[in-house]
Amino acid sequence: MSTRYKNLIGGEWVDAVSGRTFQDVNPADREDILGEFPRSGAEDVGRAVEAAQEAFKSWRLTPAPKRGEIIFRAGEILVKRKEELARLMTLEMGKVLKETRGDVQEGIDTAYYMAGEGRRLFGHHVPCELPNKFGVAMRVPVGVVAAITPWNFPLAIPTWKLFPALVCGNTVVFKPAEDTPLLAHRLVEILFESGLPPGVVNLIHGLGAEAGAALVRHPSVALVSFTGSTEVGREVATVCAQTGKKVSLEMGGKNAILVMDDAPLELAVDGAIWGAFGTSGQRCTAASRVIVHEGVLGPFTSQFVERARHLRLGSGLEETTDVGPVINETQLSRVHEYTEVGRKEGATLLTGGEVATEGRLGKGFFYKPTIFTDVEPTMRIAQEEIFGPSVAVLRARSLEEAVEICNNTAYGLSSAIYTRDVNRAFRAIQDLSTGITYVNASTIGAEVQFPFGGVRQTGNGHREGGWTVLDIMTEWKTVYVDYSGRLQRAQIDV
Alpha-carbon distance of 259 to 330, in angstroms, equals: 33
Runs of H (alpha helix) within 395-469:
399-407, 422-431
pLDDT of 494 = 84
Alpha-carbon distance of 130 to 127, in angstroms, equals: 9
| Terminal Cα-to-Cα distance of the chain (whole angstroms) | 77
Q: Where are the domains of the chain?
A: 7-251+459-478, 255-439
Q: Which of 481, 480, 483, 461 is nearest to 472 (CA)?
A: 461
- Residue 250 annotated in active site: yes
Q: Which residues of the chain fall below pLDDT 70?
A: 1
Q: Answer yes or no: CATH 3.40.50.300 is held by domain 7-251+459-478.
A: no
- Residue 284 annotated in active site: yes
Q: Which one of the listed residues 36, 117, 250, 385 is annotated catalytic? A: 250
Across 74-208, where does the E strand assignment appear? 124-125, 133-141, 144-148, 171-175, 201-203
pLDDT of 1 = 65
> Are the CB atoms for 474 and 167 separated by under 8 Å?
no
3-state class (DSSP) for residue 27: coil
> Are the CB atoms for 60 and 293 separated by under 8 Å?
no
Q: Which of 52, 49, 56 is nearest to 214 (CA)?
A: 49
Residues in CB range of 301: below 8 A, 6 or more apart: 292, 350, 371, 373, 393
> Are the CB atoms for 204 and 48 separated by under 8 Å?
yes
Task: Give pLDDT tens digits for 105-146.
Answer: 999 999 999 999 999 999 999 999 999 999 999 999 999 999
pLDDT of 39 = 98
Q: Which one of the listed residues 240, 284, 385, 464 is annotated catalytic? A: 284
Alpha-carbon distance of 48 to 221, in angstroms, equals: 11
Residue 345 CA: distances (Å) to CA of 338, 348, 365, 387: 10, 9, 26, 19
- Which CATH architecture fits 255-439? 3-Layer(aba) Sandwich (3.40)
pLDDT of 2 = 82
